[in-house]
Structure 1
Amino acid sequence: MHMSLPNPQATIQNMFAQSTAVLTQPSVATFERFERRGGVREAFIYVLLAALVSAIISGLFALLPFHHVSAGAQFFTSLISIPVEFGIFTGLVYFVGQQLFRGTGTYPEVAYTFALFFVPISIASTIIGIIPILGWLISFILGLVNVYFGFLAVQSSMNIREQGSAIVTLVLSWIGAIIVNVIIGALVAVPFVTRAILNGN
């Protein structure tokens, strides 16, 4: 039997429409309307869009004279790190919510729900962030907005209605994601540091 592959363009168009609904009508109920419209594959296709926008902007900024990192390195770092960090964080939301608060959601529901607000806010933050000072302030505000939507998404995707439990799930997942990302960053850096030491640099 022939299985058709998903159309990324159609997927992104559908998810943008759902993102618009989520962002303009923020509530647990709104998230629940869409949490089963897609799964892990659709979520990461969507997240890759945010990663691509960030990678292009980071790569272009690396071309400026005062930057010391190559454009290619900046491009691929952003392209890889954003989906990886998204996967780590949403995985921890699922794990913490299930283990500590007996959340009954599934990981596909968590990933898809979080992608709906993460992608548009991430793209907006990346674009606005290139504006000196004002861009940083607006990006900070968008970060707080991200937290608010994350709070709603935890309640929806993991079916954790108690607000305190949802907040704890979000905070522990954030702390855990930082620790995991630091460990991964250290492991990635080890070969380069070792080579530099051996070369006497």
Structure 2
Amino acid sequence: MQKSPQLNPSIQTMFSQSTAVLSQPSVATFEKFEWRGGVQSAYLYVLVAAVVSAVIAAIFAPFHREVTFFGQLLTRLILVPLGFAVFTGAVYAIGKSLFKGTGTYAEVAYTFALFYVPLSILGTVIGIIPILGWLANVLISLAIIYFGFLAVQSSMNIRTNGEGIALLVLSGLAYFLVYAIVGGLLASVFIAGAVLSGT
């Protein structure tokens, strides 16, 4: 069957594709959708997740003394899209260079967005409940790893389990390195601001 790309699907269309991916997890399900959107669609969808997560986290910031309303808003709006860009970029670059993957970055970005967006929003919603927060992070992280493993096989056409796992681990290391650096810089800015304002 010839692929006919749909490069600008609506948010509603992407949400229905996310529902299919989450409810019927398989490489075949991902392959059904990997070419139906491009990089722009993926990042638009991720931006929706960033905004929703930022607003939810910011509203509940007063219950967490260590983070302000604007601190939550700003960090989520920056770190969610940046984290997605770093991780998917690493999957594509490492998969192409080390594991001879044959997918495109558009396929990687779109495929990963389909599960990352709903799971990140769900993680934020559950995370506001104090007792369930840490458990939610663990469960959502495990779900992201599982769906990421399927997405790697689909988008990069890497079907060997060992190579798929190695690719996720290496991409995860790249993600945490960049996340730590940027997170540290943002924390420094907020601390400096608090010191200067005398709070």
- For normalisation by structure 1, the TM-score amounts to 0.86
Equivalent-residue separation in structure 2 for 1:197 and 1:81 (angstroms):
23
Relative distance call for 1:160 and 1:188 in structure 2 (3 A) is same
How many residue pairs get aligned? The number is 192
1:96 is matched with 94
Matched, 1:51 2:50: yes
AA aligned opposite 2:130 = P
Q: Is the 8 A contact 2:71 2:190 kept in 1?
A: no
Matched, 1:157 2:150: no
| Consecutive unaligned residues in structure 1, runs of 5 or more | 1-5
- For residue 192 of structure 1, report the CA deviation from its aligned partner: 7.1
2:35 is matched with 36
Equivalent-residue separation in structure 2 for 1:142 and 1:196 (angstroms):
32
2:180 is matched with 182
1:105 is matched with 103
2:3 is matched with none
| Greater C-alpha radius of gyration | 1
Equivalent-residue separation in structure 2 for 1:63 and 1:120 (angstroms):
25
- For normalisation by structure 2, the TM-score amounts to 0.86
Q: Is the 8 A contact 2:79 2:179 kept in 1?
A: no
1:17 is matched with 16
- For residue 69 of structure 1, report the CA deviation from its aligned partner: 3.2
Q: Is the 8 A contact 2:75 2:186 kept in 1?
A: no
Moved over 6 A (4+): 190-198
2:83 is matched with 85
Equivalent-residue separation in structure 1 for 2:94 and 2:186 (angstroms):
26
- For residue 186 of structure 1, report the CA deviation from its aligned partner: 4.1
- For residue 79 of structure 1, report the CA deviation from its aligned partner: 1.2
Relative distance call for 1:101 and 1:76 in structure 2 (3 A) is same
Q: Cα deviation per residue 1:108-127 (whole Å; 9 max; x = unaligned)?
A: 10000000000111111111
Equivalent-residue separation in structure 2 for 1:194 and 1:136 (angstroms):
28
| Consecutive unaligned residues in structure 2, runs of 5 or more | 1-6
- For residue 154 of structure 1, report the CA deviation from its aligned partner: 0.4
- For residue 197 of structure 1, report the CA deviation from its aligned partner: 9.7
Q: Is the 8 A contact 1:43 1:112 kept in 2?
A: yes
- For residue 48 of structure 1, report the CA deviation from its aligned partner: 1.0
1:3 is matched with none
Equivalent-residue separation in structure 1 for 2:67 and 2:90 (angstroms):
31
AA aligned opposite 2:43 = F
